[in-house]
Amino acid sequence: MKIGIIGAMREEITPLLEIFGTYKEIILGDNSFYNIFYKNSEIYIAYSKIGKVHAALTASGMILHFGCEKIIFSGVAGGLRADLKVGDLMIATKLCQHDVDISAFGHPLGFIPESKIYIQSDSKLNDIARLVAKKHDTPLKEGIIASGDQFIASAEKKRWLIETFGADGVEMEGAGVAVVCDLLKVPFCIFRSISDSADGEADVSFDEFLDSSARVSANFVKNMVDTLLQ
């Protein structure tokens, strides 16, 4: 099996590279992909850079060039629900693009013709995540993630995301990965550790908790890879 693991920033994949230890770096599309042989399988880890376009390019490379059969995105996100606290782990049940707006043509926000507003993540991978969470006694929350090429740092925008999309978390890459995987029929899941509350203090708390939140997510992904390869 070939598994692709993506983070948006170097800080989000550094804990994973530390966990696996030995890897080979391969350059593709001006980005680094780290190839790991593990339990008779191959793992490719990369940080895409920030934003949906970079995330989509990285996912495409993993699938079309390296032949990855499953994609996992590990990283951090802003929490939108009141019960989501810094350090909480959440899987995305479905994802949308909150910055897509062709409403001038009568379409709902987030909709692209010949596509859809929400893309469902893979139910089997999500079931494995639930199994891993139960086995390791790790609280795991679930919800809708809204992605867009904006860092959300206002309470007003937070309310808009909740009211418009029913979003529980917000970040800048997940839906880009979801679109690619959905079109190429590759199972995917999106893990996010909550690093900030997506409110007026987001710029402060994000820097403070990025490292610890990324490690929470990375440890969970490692446990999930072990379960997948049993």
Q: Which of 11, 12, 99, 207 is catalytic?
A: 12
CB 194 within 8 A of CB 76: yes
Residue pointed to by tokens 């079309």: 64
42 is catalytic: no
**Nearest Cα to 96, choosing from 10, 197, 182?**
182
Q: Tell me if residue 226 is catalytic.
A: no
Kind of pairing, strands 31-38 and 119-120? unpaired
Longest pairwise C-alpha distance within the chain: 52
The pTM score is 0.92
Whether the CB-CB separation of 139 and 88 falls below 8 Å is answered with yes
Q: At 195, which amino acid appears?
A: S
What's the N-to-C CA distance of the chain in angstroms? 11
Q: Sketch out the chain's domains with CATH numbers.
A: 2-228 (3.40.50.1580)
- Per-residue model confidence as pLDDT tens for the chain (230 residues): 999 999 999 988 998 999 998 999 999 999 999 999 999 999 999 999 999 999 999 999 999 999 999 999 988 888 898 888 888 899 999 999 999 999 999 999 999 999 999 999 999 999 999 999 999 999 999 999 999 999 888 889 999 999 999 999 999 999 999 999 999 999 999 988 887 765 555 555 566 677 777 787 888 899 999 999 98
Q: Which of 156, 168, 196, 201 is catalytic?
A: 196
